[in-house]
Amino acid sequence: MNPDRPSLTSADLPDGIGRVLVEPADTAGFLTDWRRRWTGRALAVVQPGSTDEVATLVRWCAAHGVPIVPQGGNTGLTGGSVPDTSGRAVVLSLARMNRVRAIDPVNDTITVEAGAVLASVQAAAREAGRLFPLSLAAEGSCTIGGNLATNAGGTGVLRYGNARELCLGLEVVTAAGEVWNGLRGLRKDNTGYDLRDLFIGAEGTLGVITAATMKLYPQPAAQVTAIAAVASPHAALALLQLARGLLGPSLTAFEMMSDLCLSLVARHFPDCPKPFADAPPYCVLLETSDPESEAHAAERFDALMARAIEDGIVSDAVVAQSIAQSRRFWALRENISEAQAAEGKNVKHDISVPISAIGDFVERTDALLARHFPGIRMVVFGHLGDGNLHYNVSPPLGADGDSLLAQQDAINALVHDAVAAADGSISAEHGIGVLRRDELPRYKSPVELALMRSLKQALDPKGLMNPGKMLA
């Protein structure tokens, strides 16, 4: 350390930046990630109440060479939202910036501050008679800023797209502490480089998102939720094709789960429904949203199922008879991660391949893993309609989770090489953070990495925005 320049403390922070937290009891929750895999230290956790306060803080950090870690709900799964262990960084929590600034039901847009919790944005849209379709299991805690910074997906991507596709405009505090107001509610705007798209999915490495204008949709008149039994991912794909053909844009969710997923949920969440007496190898949770009526929705759905059974694609199906039952079906899907965690340590992969390649990918990778790691158990589930699977693995029955973790790098390489061979992505919705940072160079071309570094250098020349995340 330079003795002429004593290190900064929280007492050096300027006025006009909002609430400053420094006591360990107050800051602890901001320094460890959701899965408790990474714990860092910070100069302070700062919670600005306005865009101006964010800008004041960022300008001070730029002047003093202090790294900034933006944080929303801290539900990210790749370690991007917590600082390193140096204690030099400021955690910039957007939690207090949670207001709805405007709803325009005619333009079908909502403008919210970045710290607004996703579920509260859904509720604000609902109160205005509209639908905000982004939906994921962390929606009670994650924020719009975090959703955009990770380009979150979730269960409605098939019909409505991911966070990027739902966003029309952003307000951003740049790494220099300037405010860019790009809160345009325009569906067409070809006036140069799309700056908005740069900040979406950037995981806080280019600037701080302080507000966003998001798209709204009509609320459906009726929804049907069902679980269908299929023999394989190939059969699930055949059902997807049939459902898209017969239902078109009414098909709003298409989630696949392997039999092991259902048995883990049954063991750890005994209150969850058991849709089939004999668990099929795979099943699909489908949801349709109908613009007309319940009768119309049921009629179209019954036609789909009749055809799928006649064609031998589906062996059995259970349709939810009430909203409560539909929620219970969704709980089955949403409890898989927790059930796997309750079972012990595991290794997760959040991969995507072209939808057409998913059947072969699962078959081939299952076989490879079984050959190289005898007894290993694949817990495969996810957003089949988006080509995105959570291809997780648990240790052999009775084996210790630590021995699985000791083989983690070899397992990751096997799965991710298979993904690359299928022209897929090693992170479909959770981002890179620190979890996948060192794997990225193996799967991105030197040209692509160099372009990413040029952008980082141009927008954050001092390297203070979430350093060490995404790019080493």
d(CA 193, CA 176): 20
List of residues contacting ligand FAD (CB under 6 A): 34, 69-77, 80-81, 94, 114, 136-138, 142-143, 145-147, 149-150, 152-154, 203-204, 208-209, 429-430, 433, 466, 469
Residue nearest to ligand FAD (CB): 146
Choice between 209 and 308, CB closer to ligand FAD: 209
Shortest gap between Cβ of 141 and ligand FAD (angstroms)? 6
Whole-number minimum distance, CB 371 to ligand FAD, in Å?
31
Q: Judged by CB, which is closer to ligand FAD: 203, or 366?
A: 203
CB of 466 to ligand FAD, least distance (A): 5
* Residue 81 Cβ vs ligand FAD, minimum distance, rounded to whole Å: 3
The Cα 82–Cα 34 span in angstroms is 10
Which two three-digit tokens encode residue 356?
Answer: 């057409």
- Would you say 218 or 461 has its CB closer to ligand FAD? 461
Q: Which is nearer to ligand FAD, 215 or 469 (CB)?
A: 469
The closest alpha carbon to 179, from 209, 149, 145, belongs to 209
Closest to ligand FAD by CB, 41 vs 307, is 41
d(CA 389, CA 456): 29
> What strand order describes the sheet that includes 167-174?
100-104, 109-113, 207-215, 167-174, 179-182
Closest contact distance (angstroms) between CB of 84 and ligand FAD is: 12
User: Which C-beta is closer to ligand FAD: that of 83 or that of 280?
Assistant: 83
Provide, rounded to whole angstroms, the least separation between the CB of residue 52 and ligand FAD: 15
Please, what is the minimum distance in Å from the beta carbon of residue 321 to ligand FAD?
26
* C-beta of 138 vs 262, nearer to ligand FAD: 138
Minimum CB separation of residue 465 from ligand FAD in Å reads 8
Nearer to ligand FAD, 51 or 258 (CB): 51
